[in-house]
Amino acid sequence: MKTIAVIGLGNIATRHRRNLKQIFPQSRLLAMSASGRIPNEAISDCDQVVSSIDELIQNGVELALVASPAPFHSVHTIPLLEASIPTLIEKPVTANVADAQKLIKVANKTQTPVAVGYCLRYLPSCQVVKKLLDEMSIGTLLNAQVEIGQYLPDWRPTKNYRDTVSAKEHLGGGALLELSHELDYTQWLLGDLKIQFSHLRSSDKLGLDVEDLVDIVATTHSGAVVNIHLDFLQRQAYRRCRFVGSEGIIEWDLIKNEVSQNSIAGQVIIYSESSWDKNQMYLNLLVDFIAKIEGKMHICIDLKQAAKTIELIEKIKSDSLNR
């Protein structure tokens, strides 16, 4: 590809520019801020900064990556799809179901390749858990616990956390959207969830106007009970899952990239590779999307799958408000 583009100038956009330059070292990479402003500071791994989607299209972009705040995803993506430019959208696909449906409608009409970047599906330990659950290695699933907690001020140490996207409701902040990876992979692993109870809280610890604590109880189609906890507050980062079945237990530590299985015979480490370079997830995501563009085998997350996560988030919010 001769010309590629990344929309957005945040941390994840910086990672994607670097990775795209690694994959396409000879390509010209264009960058655009979410607002279209031309920054005063130099932008890394970038050959040119443009100020509009129209300018990207006029420059003959052949692949675009949308890494702007979630409320702008549909506005940035739709003209790219209409111009037949394959587009990879950072998670979450949008900030609401209405925008997700608009995207699906345009994608169906244009048939332009598009996917959503839930990179954790490319984590090796995630794929091991998927295989174990699909094979029913622990028998019938009875319960699952999914938890992530990480102190928001530590996410981007060089910035005031109150000024970040994560802290601002109008930019798609809050634990539900920012930590939607957990909702995506839970439904990928276990199937569609039915919300039984949800409780959203804005603690006084960080002074945010968005939820920084989320607790959810849901059920799967088969009747298994799933407890999900998300927060911005745990000082020691924590990201683990536990799946309890009739014949054993699967424990998954995402930070350690480790999966173990317990049965009556004891505990066995199924997979463990803590030193695995997490950036490889993002590279695999890009390579997989390129395979989709080229009509090859891929496991890309399509718009309908990604929209299910937004639908689930809206149901969680509705349930919490109605209690």
User: Does 113 share its domain with 192?
Assistant: no
Q: What is the mean pLDDT of the chain?
A: 97
| Least trusted range by pLDDT, from 2-6, 29-33, 200-204, 298-302 | 200-204
User: Does 239 share its domain with 128?
Assistant: yes
User: Does 107 share its domain with 182?
Assistant: no
Average pLDDT over residues 62-74: 98
139 backbone φψ class: left, alpha, beta (φ>0; ψ -120 to 50): left
The reported pLDDT for the residue numbered 225 is 98
The reported pLDDT for the residue numbered 255 is 98
Distances (CA, A) of 140 to 116, 226, 240, 245: 31, 14, 20, 5
What is the number of domains present in the chain? 2
**Distance in angstroms (rounded) separating the CA atoms of residues 199 and 213:** 8
User: Does 226 share its domain with 295?
Assistant: no
Check if the beta carbon of residue 306 is closer than 8 Å to that of residue 185. Answer: no
The reported pLDDT for the residue numbered 157 is 86
* 264 is a domain residue: yes
pTM given for the model: 0.96
- The CA-CA-CA angle for residues 304, 69, 123, to 5°, reads 60
Average pLDDT over residues 46-61: 97
Tell me the one-letter amino acid at 268: V
* 230 is a domain residue: yes
- CATH number for the domain spanning 64: value is 3.40.50.720
Question: What is the token pair recorded at 122?
Answer: 């490319």
User: Does 139 share its domain with 239?
Assistant: yes
Question: Distance between alpha carbon 45 and the CA centroid of its chain, in Å?
Answer: 23
User: Does 142 share its domain with 240?
Assistant: yes
Average pLDDT over residues 244-266: 96
* 238 is a domain residue: yes
User: Does 104 share its domain with 130?
Assistant: no
User: Does 251 share its domain with 148?
Assistant: yes
The reported pLDDT for the residue numbered 275 is 97
Question: What is the token pair recorded at 65?
Answer: 């990556």
- CATH number for the domain spanning 129: value is 3.30.360.10
Distances (CA, A) of 163 to 137, 147, 168, 204, 244: 45, 25, 8, 17, 40
User: Does 90 share its domain with 34?
Assistant: yes
* 250 is a domain residue: yes
* 177 is a domain residue: yes
**Distance in angstroms (rounded) separating the CA atoms of residues 242 and 230:** 15
The reported pLDDT for the residue numbered 282 is 98
Please list the alpha-helical segments (H only) found in the chain. Answer: 11-23, 53-58, 73-82, 97-110, 124-134, 175-178, 181-190, 279-293, 303-321
User: Does 241 share its domain with 186?
Assistant: yes
**Distance in angstroms (rounded) separating the CA atoms of residues 168 and 2:** 36
* 78 is a domain residue: yes
Tokens 């900064």 — which residue?
A: 49
- β-strand partners of 38: none
The reported pLDDT for the residue numbered 207 is 92
Is 323's pLDDT higher than 80?
Answer: no
User: Does 26 share its domain with 148?
Assistant: no
User: Does 115 share its domain with 131?
Assistant: no
* 311 is a domain residue: no
Check if the beta carbon of residue 29 is closer than 8 Å to that of residue 21. Answer: yes
* 222 is a domain residue: yes
C-beta neighbour count of 97 within 10 angstroms: 17
Average pLDDT over residues 16-23: 98
Helices 303-321 and 97-110 cross at an angle (nearest 10°) of 160
Check if the beta carbon of residue 92 is closer than 8 Å to that of residue 185. Answer: no
Domain hosting residue 176, numbered range: 124-276
